[in-house]
Structure 1
């Protein structure tokens, strides 16, 4: 592991700007290590926004607004990892039917967007009872 940072915010979409700015600051601080284009970092920031928004709107929809969401950024020599921890009921993303091109479907688009923005996306229940959305982008670092 080269660099790591952690942020805890409450369950409120008003914190989305803070989350994205924190991500951008992390990337700026470690820019000499990142050989990715601005486009790749934008895609990761979009994936982070989608994951955070899903935690607020879906996982924590019936929980008090004081419920926290933890986010970890970890920079390795061969990848960038984002972990978003929520306290909601777990769900099985594999049970979501992928939308057919040209058709409309209610819900589920966020999961497919995440999978297209990142190289690896995993959602699983941790031993501590929290859910973890892991978003991974592989790439070369200096």
Structure 2
């Protein structure tokens, strides 16, 4: 049975001004644990992008009608064979698989978050947990 090698947790308010804090936290985790385990800068860039998209979606969409004091929790779990990122929000549940991919000939100013997450992740799930929160799980 595999065990978690390293784990970290961050809680921030639902406000895009915490974007840099989320990125710095991920970068610190990456430098301390992922680089030394052979993860490439390219892999880390894509994972950071998926994390940022998940956080941004939680702020802009899931928490749109909620006060900015509503928290977003993020957890990183490094296993021997994978990294799991979890982002919890308190928005209304929905199925991201129903979000259509933008057409290549139709540039949009938004709507690419789920496309990026789908392409970066080996596996992703967005589901409701028992605490009436949604959890975005991104596995790579």
Partner of 1:55: 58
2:17 pairs with one of 14, 18, 26: 14
- Match of residue 125 from structure 2: 122
Aligned counterpart in structure 2 of residue 97 of structure 1, from 95, 100, 114? 100
Distance of aligned partners of 1:133 and 1:27 in 2 relative to their CA distance in 1, 3 Å threshold: same
| CA distance in 2 between partners of 1:55 and 1:102 (Å) | 27
Please name the residue that 1:41 is paired with.
44
Separation (CA, whole Å) in 1 of partners of 2:36 and 2:82? 11
CA RMSD of aligned residues (A): 1.4
SS in structure 1 at match of 2:26: helix
TM-score, normalization: structure 1? 0.90
Q: How high is the TM-score relative to the length of structure 2?
A: 0.91
C-alpha displacement at 1:32, in angstroms? 5.7
Stretch moving more, 10-19 or 90-99:
90-99
Aligned length: 137
- 1:135 corresponds to: 138
Which stretch shifts more, 89-98 or 128-137? Answer: 89-98
Candidates 10, 29, 41, aligned match of 1:26: 29
